[in-house]
C-alpha cells in the first residue's frame, strides 16, 4: 500500500510589482522554507501578515506549497 510522507512545506508571499508596458500587473514573490507540516491556515495568516508589514510593496496573497514523497 502506498503512503505519503511529508518532505517540505514552503510559505510563498506574493506582492504587486508594478505594471508591464501593456498595462498588466507584474508580481514578485518571497518564499519562506521549513514550515511545520502541521501549521494551520490561521497560523500562516498571522505569519504572512507580520512579514508583509516589512515591505512597501502591496500584498496580494499567500500560498502554502507542500512536497510529499510517495512511498
Per-residue pLDDT of the chain (71 residues; tens, 9 = 90+): 899 999 999 999 999 999 999 999 999 999 999 999 899 999 999 999 999 999 999 999 999 999 999 99
pLDDT of residue 30: 97
pLDDT of residue 37: 87
C-alpha cell at 30: 518571497
Cα(55)–Cα(27) distance, rounded to whole angstroms?
A: 14
DSSP, res 51 = H
pTM for the model: 0.85
pLDDT of residue 39: 92
Amino acid at each position: 500500500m502506498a503512503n505519503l510522507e511529508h518532505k517540505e512545506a514552503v510559505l510563498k508571499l506574493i506582492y504587486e510589482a508594478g505594471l508591464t508596458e501593456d498595462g498588466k500587473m507584474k508580481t514578485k514573490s518571497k518564499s519562506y522554507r521549513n514550515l511545520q507540516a502541521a501549521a494551520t491556515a490561521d497560523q500562516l495568516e498571522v505569519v504572512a501578515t507580520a512579514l508583509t508589514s516589512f515591505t512597501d510593496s502591496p500584498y496580494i496573497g499567500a500560498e502554502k506549497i507542500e512536497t510529499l514523497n510517495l512511498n
